Chains A and B, each alone.
Chain A
């Protein structure tokens, strides 16, 4: 069983939870049989999903009680509608009372579900408020990103408000997705069909090198599990001094890399030898290649 590699990228939200948590420990809140579905989609002539595209519940991670939410990218790109968002908010609020060892958010989302407009926008802001309220009680919240649809828009913000982000190389994290950037800024600025460019810019390796993802793991649910266990006690202080330090870090980053035209330029300036080969390396080789350059720079 342990020797088997389960691709996180290819798995559905439900499959990810099955392998991520201790075997048989997952208990779902509002399961599909409860049929809590979107009230907005039928009016638009669109089919609903019985879980509204997110699976929430409790389980055990290495025998520690955790609460989990897993977004299903296949359903409307994992977009956050009213019910979908309320399920995640409810989970985070429940954690205030349950006091689990951690909350794990398996994020895969294009952001707000445009079909539900304002309800989706409000849902994302409610998730953010609940997330920060929970972190203020020192319950760690971990974001896991490695799905087909990436993590964008409001959920990209949610990810970076967590205590830590665990990504695989194929995972993508950003605010505007590639197509949005191309539409707004033009194809010369960003060619969304250039897959190498998209992953070089938004993919896990770059996010890790920039310090936005705290861990880069293989595309393997078991690797996500092992790393989540390792980070169960991770807490990012939620206080003014920490925010000011983060602001200073971002200012320094802008000063250092602001004129770079490509992610590979940043890797070169970071001091990674032969940066152009980074996208070709597997996780172990990658960590070996970047460790000397990263030494001392990691927050």
Chain B
């Protein structure tokens, strides 16, 4: 188990439709992403619990790419991971953001 925290400077975003959303399942090769609005002085904070040790630089790269592609401000992302590949992580992050911005069905 490894715990990782990352802070990214935010960029102004349209107010999300929902206060939070969750996607994915804590299952082998998968992860759950909980995304929430939070007062973080305009930044984006990501905290990760992962079953696989030693992949800090990869997480940093995947998250930096996600944050560069999407405007996020005052967003907290919490992740429970069981060895998801970077591609799966990237897809889940996009899915979580889409859910956050989608009005409740």
Contact = CB atoms under 8 A, between A and B. Distances in A.
A49 B32 contact: yes
Given A24-B104, A42-B1, A47 B22 contact: no
A50 B27 contact: no
A45 to B, nearest CB: 4
B60 interface: no
B51 interface: yes
A47 B34 contact: no
Interface string B72-101: 000000101110000000000000000000
Contacts of B49: 47-48
A46 B49 CA distance: 9
Chain A contact surface mostly? loop
B25 A33 contact: no
Contacts of A42: 1
Contacts of A75: 25-27
Nearest to B81: A47
Contacts of A32: 20, 22, 32, 34
Contacts of B51: 45-47
Interface in A28-55: 31-33, 35, 42, 45-51, 53
Given A32-B34, A74-B27, A46 B1 contact: yes
Nearest to B48: A47
B104 A47 contact: no
A47 B50 contact: yes
Contacts of B82: 47
Interface string A263-282: 00000000000000000000
Given A33-B20, A33-B36, A50-B34, A45 B1 contact: yes
14 contacts: A32-B20, A32-B32, A33-B19, A47-B26, A47-B51, A47-B81, A48-B80, A49-B32, A49-B80, A50-B22, A50-B34, A50-B78, A72-B25, A75-B27
Interface of B: 1, 19-20, 22, 25-27, 30, 32, 34, 36, 49-51, 78, 80-82, 104-105
